[in-house]
């Protein structure tokens, strides 16, 4: 008779987490890829004033019209290659969502127009300020629209940012309206896109489609009545203008790919790459003045951003430390 050997039974300790057999690098790889995608998107957006420098002879209105039309051509071609049309009939039966996308499209076009005008008229630094302020505008929109309650540390950040705007107004003798318009328009745009959720490429396709009935006729009229770049521009300038479509859509796709792979807190920190690059370009390439008085206003706003970012990362600034148990 063959005796069977009984194997010892191991009881798992409920207080001890089970070890995962997943390799340690599996979690890091998507995050590293996402960080690369997001960084490329924000670097491209930060360097966008250099592109506008190449087409500085083109009117801001024509730049926005060209950007809308060629972005539409590019994104429709991309959707055709990917064969991603299933969402379109569903969206067409939802007039409320279409209305939200129409409003977001107008906000986006207005944001583009102000930004292009600012860069072409020597306000690159103020344009960068708008995107530094944007996260703080998002906090305020959360209170005013979504009825969110702010913690003390968030109110402190809002107060510092407001002090920075007041200081810059007093130093320059005028309200920094370019920064405020850019921050508010982009903040409202983000809020609407959050409400009318759709994929990045599909949502951008809808927005450019809804702008097309205005942008296409306006571009045709501008081209022939105002001797636009497509009529009197040389080959190099025309090529730069045609690039506005890919230069608008590709960073958006990179951002969407990065956002899917990154934690929200990480993405929130990476977003400051774009306005930082734009600020440096304003000082070193466009040679705009950046004296000590202006620096004080920026430092106040950067301090507010540091507090908001630290709070988002869970550092719990300005909160009492927990009392240790006796």
Write out pLDDT tens, residues 144-153.
Answer: 887 888 888 8
Residue 182 CA to residue 222 CA, distance in Å, equals 25
Is the model's pLDDT at 303 over the cut of 50? yes
pLDDT given for residue 30 in this prediction? 65
Q: pLDDT tens-digit profile of 247-260?
A: 998 998 888 888 77
Per-residue buried b or exposed e for 197-216, using 16+ beta carbons within 10 Å of the residue's own CB: ebebbbbbbbbbbbbeeebe
Is the model's pLDDT at 114 over the cut of 70? yes
CB 56 within 8 A of CB 240: no
Is the model's pLDDT at 12 over the cut of 70? no
Residue 244 CA to residue 51 CA, distance in Å, equals 9
Residue 277 CA to residue 280 CA, distance in Å, equals 5
Q: pLDDT tens-digit profile of 142-199?
A: 888 878 888 888 889 889 999 999 999 988 889 999 999 999 999 899 888 877 778 8
pLDDT given for residue 33 in this prediction? 85
- Kind plus residue range of the DSSP H or E element containing 317: none
Is the model's pLDDT at 293 over the cut of 60? yes
Residue 199 CA to residue 203 CA, distance in Å, equals 6
Q: pLDDT tens-digit profile of 202-248?
A: 989 999 999 999 999 999 999 999 888 988 889 999 999 999 999 99
Q: What is the mean pLDDT of residues 49-63?
A: 95
pTM for the model? 0.83
pLDDT given for residue 261 in this prediction? 80
pLDDT given for residue 226 in this prediction? 85
CB 229 within 8 A of CB 69: no
Please give the mean pLDDT across all residues of the chain: 85
């Amino acid at each position: 008779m063959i005796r069977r050997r009984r194997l010892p039974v191991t009881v798992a300790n409920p207080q001890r987490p089970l070890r995962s057999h997943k390799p340690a690098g599996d979690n890091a790889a998507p995050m590293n890829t996402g960080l690369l995608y997001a960084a490329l998107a924000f670097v491209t957006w930060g360097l966008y004033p250099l592109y506008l420098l190449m087409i500085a002879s083109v009117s801001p209105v024509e730049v926005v019209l060209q950007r809308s039309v060629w972005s539409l051509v590019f994104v429709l071609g991309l959707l055709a290659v990917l064969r991603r049309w299933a969402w379109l009939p569903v969206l067409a039966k939802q007039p409320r969502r279409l209305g939200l996308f129409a409003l977001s499209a107008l906000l986006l076009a207005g944001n583009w127009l102000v930004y292009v005008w600012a860069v072409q008229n020597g306000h690159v630094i103020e344009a960068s300020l708008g995107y530094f302020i944007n996260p703080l505008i998002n906090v305020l929109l959360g209170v005013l629209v979504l009825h969110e309650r702010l913690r003390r540390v968030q109110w402190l950040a809002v107060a510092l940012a407001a002090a920075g705007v007041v200081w810059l107004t007093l130093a320059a003798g005028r309200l920094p309206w370019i920064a405020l318009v850019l921050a508010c328009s982009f903040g409202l745009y983000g809020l609407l896109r959050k409400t009318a959720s759709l994929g990045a490429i599909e949502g951008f396709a809808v927005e450019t489609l809804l702008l097309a009935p205005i942008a296409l006729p306006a571009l045709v009229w501008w081209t022939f009545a105002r001797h636009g770049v497509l009529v009197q521009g040389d080959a190099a300038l025309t090529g730069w203008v045609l690039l506005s479509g890919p230069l608008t859509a590709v960073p958006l796709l990179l951002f969407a790919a990065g956002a899917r792979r990154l934690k929200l807190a990480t993405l929130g920190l990476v977003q400051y790459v774009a306005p930082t690059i734009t600020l440096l370009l304003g000082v070193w390439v466009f040679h705009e003045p950046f004296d000590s008085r202006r620096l004080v206003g920026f430092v106040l706003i950067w301090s507010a951003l540091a507090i908001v970012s630290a709070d988002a990362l869970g550092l719990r600034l300005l909160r009492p430390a927990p009392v240790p148990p006796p």
